[in-house]
Structure 1
């Protein structure tokens, strides 16, 4: 019996996309909610990351170094992360080209659409209301990010080679939480595999407030830089503020009286100035976080987080992100004014 395909056969397939609305905009990029159409009425909701129209229409030879860096990051994200398939990582579906641009860069990245809010939105919501995220919720979110990082740090390619992907931009804008309570790490645009070339003093990318000291100094980084950034995130979720970087690891017990000693230990260990003093394995960090929330035999799940999110953002429903003016004010006054990362 003959087979339809043989190994190595190439398939050319056309497909259509319908733009629903813009959901994020940054300095040089935009993200749209879109519908991918297939045969027999097939539809899939996706997020479409593209270069802004004014840059897409420019001749590639007229682009600045910063613009070229963004284009490189867009392609890098798609190629490096395309095979990262994990519950807590936003999945990349396709790197393609748009029709209708005679010059310039007309590439796009089709990725998983996350219907929810960013961690930045959630933190700002609590700041707006003068409240702090409950300890178990904050630690649960951090534990899911840790599992995503563990997967990326230990990811192997098809040949069995460990790539050791370091995110390098773990920050609240790059953590998305779906309405169903699933935490997703996004925007691997500046991620690097450990076997990629490194040049000391190279252009620093990322958000300095969340960078490990060695990364901020343009030094060589490994997975422990991501661990430091996650420690900053956990601190901010618990305290509604960033730690004083002149005092690391920072004292935290005087900021919350409901913190278990185990949480203080995790923050102290993740925020060590010396990378060698931090966790030596992301798995150990994830386990310690999970021990905190499940030490009594039970603890928060994605269902718990979903219920909490719906209480925090009551105007958000299954079809639209935010319906009420009050919720819109909170989101649009935050550093990332909509549910997908602004830093696209």
Structure 2
């Protein structure tokens, strides 16, 4: 049946409908935007029954199709993983069935098959394997893994989508009730309507990896063939792996394509471990960073994928590659392969994949053409991602989204246990360091240029750019691609009033600064060598702007003030920003802030309200305790009743782990505390306070893998902590060279190998922490 847009609008009055994104036998997909939250979504509408896209679904009637879309909503609501598309709402309206989900504007993987190359093919494999590990752990078989169902979001993060024919199973295997799927990617047992298992999805992933490694060519096209022909084509494909595919990588792909499910990897995680090891050995150290793709991996897989390797393995010889046998015992020196890897030498940086710029609406700010590389946005592996999610209940409208329902939904013990997988139990060090403690050494001389306090540092996700803000009234950009020899790229004109805070949008396009004069300024940093100022017109608030943060939607900007004022803005049009929310985190007022700031009799001198990842929480110190503010909707903040108590003085420094489940805080009492926010309505202390600094702790930052924390103190030192198990944190190292003045800012590089620090004396230092990875003995 045809879908009347007016009926969809009546079903979803809170959304403004846009263009049609796709259509098929299942119905259609429409672009839309939430009117109040300025969030772009895709709306999947059931428009009929019968054939579902390219899947073979004989006899699929209306009732079954309706049940299928409801099932997809329930499945997606319970699969909370950064490599799986997020669902926001499900509702039934007359005979319409609608799913509201995130819009993935970077395009499907199928449009990039011939441009990714070997390392990126492996990165895609790790991303999908990570998603399947989550799905299979919840008893869900996808049954239609293919490039068309893998899409990039606006930040070029790959996500698995379309769980419309996914199957819920209660044991290790299940019988197929019908032959459904896309023939080219179906396993033999799926074609035969036999017993399905996790190995069925792994076979499909093996076919995808083959296509990527072979440049996207496929001898057979989709559903026009009968299963035996497809299987014969798979056998031929195994013999057609290009000679330049490294033997270890080829062996992983061939194992996934085994005809017998028992001969395939036992789980998606096992496949990920094998692929991570093969890629690390084949493409050399730092191969993930060079792909330019964002990956969310658990600790064990990431550790294997990022292990130190002096050089990539040589290309396998032509003979033997088809059999899948390793040729690692016979090094062959050859010329660089198409991915840029040369035998016997470290692999050079890979060119950026030719992914299209995001298809953003006219309200979106300008976008650069290259993807945001992995690292800085990577949350703790295996942790729940809690962005704007409410459980989908078939038959009910979920338009009143409440992120808190998701915050409550994950047991705290599970998050702590996941964080501690594979980590040795460690104990906290004593307050005073001992002579044998490892020390951090600075790389080269301090960065010259600033003449005032270094108040903020931001490392860009490209791994090459660092932004610094100073009380001297300038913002500077530095090229730190060679951390031992950084160079200045750009300095803003003197802005007249000191810079107090910096933030980079999640898409990496806009840099924002908060100032002493209560103003906010913005730059387009698409070209870091030549940024262009954007004329943002935010009305000045009551307080000096001590913190600025972007939500995961780059149009959402949160500004925090010196005495607790928090304003939430839609800056899609910087010349005409819209205020979405306003509250005072100290005086507990919503919708307005008192005209006179409350210093609580001198207990508050410098509040720095900080936004959690995915815009779920704001944290601030109110003079008595740390307060959390929940954002069930951006225009409806509410203070969580239970404060975080433990510090004995003013709290200045906050840092959320990349997944938002752990909060670090530090302040005047010299201690650093970790808090479990898995259930944000009932936060809990993690482990003992981290001690050792001899003056107040002002700055904190987590590494992208959430395994390490760096702290900066007025004692002029930085300290590196291992927090791979946040319930048992430990000191890893401290700076062996003091800054010349009090530390005010710290930041990790995206790859976690470098730390940047800035002090009150205008000095910025670069530190090599690559020898102090979490989990290594000090």
TM-score by length of 1: 0.71
Shift of 1:268: 1.2
Name the CA distance, whole Å, in 1 between partners of 2:240 and 2:188: 24
Who is 2:79 aligned against?
Answer: 84
Change beyond 3 A, Cα 1:18–1:265: same
What CA deviation, in whole Å up to 9, does each residue of 1:61-87 have, x standing for no partner? xxx843433222111101122111101
Who is 1:97 aligned against?
Answer: 92
User: Do structure 1's residue 241 and structure 2's residue 239 form an aligned pair?
Assistant: no
Larger Rg: 2
Moved more, 73-82 or 311-320: 311-320
Contact 2:109-2:152 at 8 Å conserved across structures:
yes
Structure 2 counterparts to residues 321-336 of structure 1, below 5 A:
none
Who is 2:285 aligned against?
Answer: 297
What CA deviation, in whole Å up to 9, does each residue of 1:259-312 have, x standing for no partner? 111111111110111101110121110112222333433113497138989752
What CA deviation, in whole Å up to 9, does each residue of 1:187-241 have, x standing for no partner? 1111112129x98573221111111110111112011100000000001111223
User: Do structure 1's residue 230 and structure 2's residue 205 form an aligned pair?
Assistant: yes
Structure 2 counterparts to residues 158-307 of structure 1, below 5 A:
164-195=139-170, 202-239=177-214, 240-242=216-218, 245-246=231-232, 252=238, 255-295=241-281, 296-301=284-289, 304-305=292-293
Change beyond 3 A, Cα 1:148–1:185: same
Shift of 1:152: 0.8
Name the CA distance, whole Å, in 2 between partners of 1:318 and 1:35: 11
Q: Which of the pair has the greater relative contact order for Cα pairs under 8 Å at 6+ separation?
A: 1
Name the CA distance, whole Å, in 2 between partners of 1:28 and 1:76: 14
Name the CA distance, whole Å, in 2 between partners of 1:22 and 1:112: 15
Who is 2:101 aligned against?
Answer: 111
Change beyond 3 A, Cα 1:201–1:94: closer
User: Do structure 1's residue 144 and structure 2's residue 134 form an aligned pair?
Assistant: no
Name the CA distance, whole Å, in 1 between partners of 2:253 and 2:350: 24
> Alignment partner for residue 20 of structure 2, among 17, 22, 28?
22
Secondary structure of the 1:23 match is strand
More strand by share: 2
Secondary structure of the 2:30 match is strand
Moved more, 74-83 or 299-308: 299-308
CA RMSD in angstroms, aligned pairs only: 3.0
Name the CA distance, whole Å, in 2 between partners of 1:185 and 1:302: 22
Change beyond 3 A, Cα 1:165–1:299: same
What CA deviation, in whole Å up to 9, does each residue of 1:46-70 have, x standing for no partner? 1100023x77xxxxxxxx8434332
Who is 2:30 aligned against?
Answer: 32
Who is 1:312 aligned against?
Answer: 354
Question: Which 4+ runs in 1 deviate beyond 6 A?
Answer: 306-310
Secondary structure of the 2:85 match is coil
Shift of 1:178: 2.4
Change beyond 3 A, Cα 1:199–1:300: closer
Moved more, 285-294 or 106-115: 285-294
Change beyond 3 A, Cα 1:292–1:185: same
Secondary structure of the 1:20 match is strand
Name the CA distance, whole Å, in 1 between partners of 2:174 and 2:293: 41
Who is 1:154 aligned against?
Answer: 137
Secondary structure of the 1:46 match is strand
Shift of 1:255: 4.0
User: Do structure 1's residue 135 and structure 2's residue 118 form an aligned pair?
Assistant: yes
Moved more, 295-304 or 275-284: 295-304
Contact 1:269-1:278 at 8 Å conserved across structures:
yes
Contact 1:235-1:241 at 8 Å conserved across structures:
no
Name the CA distance, whole Å, in 1 between partners of 2:76 and 2:89: 11
Change beyond 3 A, Cα 1:266–1:181: same
Contact 2:123-2:291 at 8 Å conserved across structures:
no
Change beyond 3 A, Cα 1:246–1:294: same
Contact 2:106-2:356 at 8 Å conserved across structures:
no
Contact 1:266-1:285 at 8 Å conserved across structures:
yes
Change beyond 3 A, Cα 1:135–1:311: closer
Moved more, 233-242 or 306-315: 306-315
> Alignment partner for residue 37 of structure 2, among 26, 42, 51?
42
TM-score by length of 2: 0.33
Change beyond 3 A, Cα 1:87–1:316: closer
Contact 1:252-1:264 at 8 Å conserved across structures:
no
